Chains A and B, each alone.
Chain A
Amino acid sequence: MAEKSWMYAVLEGVQQEMQQDPKMSWIFELTPPVASNPGMPVINLETEFGRKRVVNTGIDENWMASCVLGAALAGSKAATYIPYQGALIPFEVIQNVAGKLRHMTGGKATPGCVWVIEMTGQTPGFAGQHSCYEEDSYYAHIPGVRTVIPSTPYDAKGMMISALRSSDPVVYLYPAGLRTLQGEVPDEAYEVPLDKAAVRQEGNDLTIVSSGAGMPGVLEAAEKLTADGMSVEVIDLRVLKEMDTETLVNSVGKTKRLLTVDQSYYTLCPGAEVIARVAENVEGVKFKRIAFPDAPPPASPEMFTWMRPNAGHIIEAAKKMV
């Protein structure tokens, strides 16, 4: 166990799986699979496993996404790292092919592969084609594809290993803003389930639900609200497909108040699905949804930082609800 960055934790998981499985490959463009961490050996997948298994391609996300699926259908595990500018280019092959294959073939196809897909839109200055945080909603909508979004280095490694061991196709969302987040991460390989939300803090007055890059702001707000005497339960979704309804219903059944927080666009954000599932199962709940407005993130820091949901917004909304 040691303090590791998110980035290092993810690659450590990939490295350990590649050491176990000599058939496994990793495909990337632009972002080399290299990570360092104080006091730890540098991980460089390209030099460790060679350029036949670890491939730096041309900029062609459609090929990368299709290639790992084709490898799966041929019986080899493969994963690819799609950087943010191309985050939705693989959509067609994931939505129209990978997600349907097992069902369509009456269970004969085994399309287990991993698409690591970056998310940006969290930082001023990017804007336009360089923001894509809303991809969580798009990918979560696809049947037959497991869509996960870790928010801690511990989960990042454990969910990467589970994703690589899964026989289902997995969209592993990678919030770029969390890349340098530090946390305790075991050195050995371990799994974190691909179907369970995590209760990060227990409480009785209010349930706050978020995921991925929304979590740091939620935890900051929860700490301040707790200090102010509110009893807050915090749930980190971790998994968008299939969403862990049970954990959500159990929590809101107790608190009767639900606040969802998303960095994704308001319309059809993950919080909208959370609210719908809770509304179907729990009577007499007070709901509130915080999200990014239905507008593309602008470049200007003044406009962007005003739009992005933050701890202050969460605290204010929570206080109005309790």
Chain B
Amino acid sequence: MKYEETNKATSTEVDAPSSESRRGFLKLAAISGAAVSVTKRGALANGEIGFWAKDLPDDKLIDMYRTILKIRWHERTQADKMLADPSYRGYNHFYAGQEAVATGVCAALRNDGPFEQIDLVYSSHRPSGHAIAKGVDIPTMVAEMDFRSTGMNGGYAAEMHISDPSVGFIGADGMIGPAPVIASGSAFAFRARESDQVAVVFAGDGNYAAPHFHSTLNNAKLLDLPLIYVCENNLYHQYAHYSYSCPHKDISDAAAAYGIPANVVDGQDVVQVYNAAKTAVDRARAGGGPTFIEAKTYRYYNHWGAPGAKEGELGAFGYDPLAITSFRPEREVRAWMQRDPVDISRKILIDWGILDEARAAEIETEVKQEIASAFEWAMQQPLCNPEDALKHVFAEGTVPARQFG
């Protein structure tokens, strides 16, 4: 195994393509990613440079743009409901700003087909973006987040624990720690049963500090597991900057120490994320073992949001009273918003001649409508039946009520 990908490129390098590709105008597009591009060049076979997006059909690229919009509009609609609709009860750990990461990774996965063949995604935290990118049914997800009995998990899970194995979305636990280790267990099973499936775990910068992080990487490498660890470094775990929990500037440096090929990508640019994920998936399917991808990204909203938020007060979903030790400067938030994943993906597609401005706007209108309908449907769904609380503890039967004595 070679680790060329861990060798850092000089800071001036960008991801500009140099081979003959079917799109001859890619150089322009690369400029959009230049600002924070931190490419780690690696030697690939047959003259490939790893710009796999060159091979994507137009409709797939448009789907990626559409997915980014779905995640964004799901959250904007939900945030509006928190601010304005007193009957809305759902809360969320927001993903807005990070959409290109889930979208780019999931676009490189197998999402359709029998459960025994599709790739599995573990979302430790901020799951709605991962869930939408993996292809869950949005109306039932929205219903779940408002505790409805016809929600994706019958109202048992709510936002922090959503799950839909039928599309390979194993789900979220809202925890720092366990998800990556468990994901490595799924990867272990794939290898043992000689399946070409891969397991992906999304985890934040906060996960670095947990022993689980190190156990995951060590065992994934020792056993050459088909595991892709996507570290979404949005700079903050809850309210603390990641410098409180990790001595590295690039968390991927730690993965390199475990002998795992590691990339740093611009998490705001869906094409860069896709390229890195495709390389990782190809490697895993071919028996080449794990890959670590660190996506530099940012969340726009605060750590979480709940109903009853008041616009302008504590920045609505901005500054939180608990964030005393360390909180995000407003200028940092605004600087990252200049490199918005929605804008970047739209610009790339227009630049590549796949969409024009009018069609791009039309797609956004369609997505807004789809999300609005999802909320409308979800808000009409029935509430849970109290006694159902005693179901699903075991595969069969119910447990006794004990609260009445």
Task: Find B404's partner among A86, A125, A296, A317 (CB 8 Å cutoff).
Answer: A317
Known: A56-B240, A303-B155. A128 touches B174 (CB 8 A): yes
B189 within 8 A of partner (CB): no
B107 within 8 A of partner (CB): no
User: Do residues A303 and B403 form an inter-chain contact, with CB atoms below 8 A?
Assistant: no
A257 within 8 A of partner (CB): no
> What separation, in Å, do the CA atoms of A296 and B387 have in the docked complex?
13
Q: Write out the residue numbers on chain A whose beta carbons fall within 8 Å of the beta carbon of B207.
A: 59
Interface size class on chain B is 35 or more
Number of residues of chain A lying within 8 A (CB) of chain B: 53
Which of B3-11, B113-121, B255-263, B394-402 is found at the contact surface with chain A?
Answer: B394-402
User: Do residues A293 and B390 form an inter-chain contact, with CB atoms below 8 A?
Assistant: yes
User: Do residues A289 and B157 form an inter-chain contact, with CB atoms below 8 A?
Assistant: no
Query: How many A-B pairs fall under 8 Å by CB?
Result: 160
The smallest C-beta distance from B378 to any residue of chain A, in angstroms, reads 14
User: Do residues B322 and A32 form an inter-chain contact, with CB atoms below 8 A?
Assistant: yes
Query: A7-42: which residues lie under 8 A (CB-CB) from chain B?
Result: 29-32, 34
Q: Write out the residue numbers on chain A whose beta carbons fall within 8 Å of the beta carbon of B157.
A: 127-128, 299
> What separation, in Å, do the CA atoms of A29 and B238 have in the docked complex?
10
Report whether over half of chain B's contact residues are helix, strand or loop; otherwise say mixed: loop
User: Do residues A291 and B155 form an inter-chain contact, with CB atoms below 8 A?
Assistant: no
> What separation, in Å, do the CA atoms of A60 and B178 have in the docked complex?
12
Query: B226-270: which residues lie under 8 A (CB-CB) from chain A?
Result: 237-240, 244-246
> What separation, in Å, do the CA atoms of A295 and B391 have in the docked complex?
8
> What separation, in Å, do the CA atoms of A125 and B156 have in the docked complex?
9
User: Do residues B177 and A59 form an inter-chain contact, with CB atoms below 8 A?
Assistant: yes
> What separation, in Å, do the CA atoms of A12 and B238 have in the docked complex?
25
User: Do residues B389 and A293 form an inter-chain contact, with CB atoms below 8 A?
Assistant: yes
Which of chain A's residues has its CB closest to B210's CB? A60
B340 within 8 A of partner (CB): no
User: Do residues B402 and A294 form an inter-chain contact, with CB atoms below 8 A?
Assistant: yes
User: Do residues B388 and A59 form an inter-chain contact, with CB atoms below 8 A?
Assistant: no
> What separation, in Å, do the CA atoms of A301 and B149 have in the docked complex?
11
> What separation, in Å, do the CA atoms of A293 and B237 have in the docked complex?
34
A85 within 8 A of partner (CB): yes
Q: Write out the residue numbers on chain A whose beta carbons fall within 8 Å of the beta carbon of B147.
A: 124-125, 299-302
Identify which of B160, B238, B322 gathers the most chain A CB atoms within 10 Å of its CB.
B160
Q: List 6 A-B contacts (CB under 8 A).
A: A56-B244, A58-B244, A60-B245, A89-B177, A301-B89, A309-B403
- Which 6 residue pairs are nearest across A and B when measured between Cβ atoms? A58-B209, A58-B245, A306-B386, A299-B158, A317-B405, A300-B155
